[in-house]
Amino acid sequence: MKTLVIVSHPYPEQSKAIKTLEAAVKDLPQVTVRNLESLYGSNTSGFDVAAEQAAYEGVDRVVYMFPVHWFNLTPMLKAYLNEVWTYGWAFGPNGKALQGKEMLVVTTTGASEFTYSAAGLVQSTIEEVLTPMKASALYVGMQYGSPLAMYEAMNASDEQVSQFRQRLSEHLSTAIAA
């Protein structure tokens, strides 16, 4: 399955888990990785829209990999979706470029899984926090898979990060195909 992985982290120099997860998929066969901050720095209006749209051609699955940033997407990823998912390309009368592709969200959080529960501090599950990604996927005709969340990533040990990596590998091999 040809896969495009879009990675974003607002503080790449502080990223341990996302860097490890990106490295885990970077050399897999049929996987293309585009790290937004590596390509564009922090310029949220500097995207090469044609190149970004071309990256989706021929892929079956798109993975968005990012840390939850104030219970939302990273600023760069939000700007990317605003600029790249254009009317006439992603949606609208002729906009079918994403239709039928699988969307997977791989995310890390600084907080615990309990924090992201009905009884937790934010009284919302990670699925609820990621509702805008699900709604966006469905709006453009993508299939939305269950997100893969790695909790307490900010202070994760090397062993925990290794477990995150293993979970990602397993998730990619079984996602939506099941």
Lowest mean pLDDT among 16-25, 32-41, 57-66, 166-175: 166-175
| 81-131 tens-digit pLDDT | 999 999 999 998 899 999 999 999 999 999 999 999 999 999 999 999 999
Rg, C-alpha atoms of the chain: 16
Burial class for 158, CB neighbours closer than 10 Å (0-12, 13-18, 19+): exposed
Q: What is the pTM of this model?
A: 0.94
Domain 3-174, second-level architecture: 3-Layer(aba) Sandwich (3.40)
Q: Residue ranges per domain, the chain? A: 3-174
Residue 176 has pLDDT above 70, yes or no: no
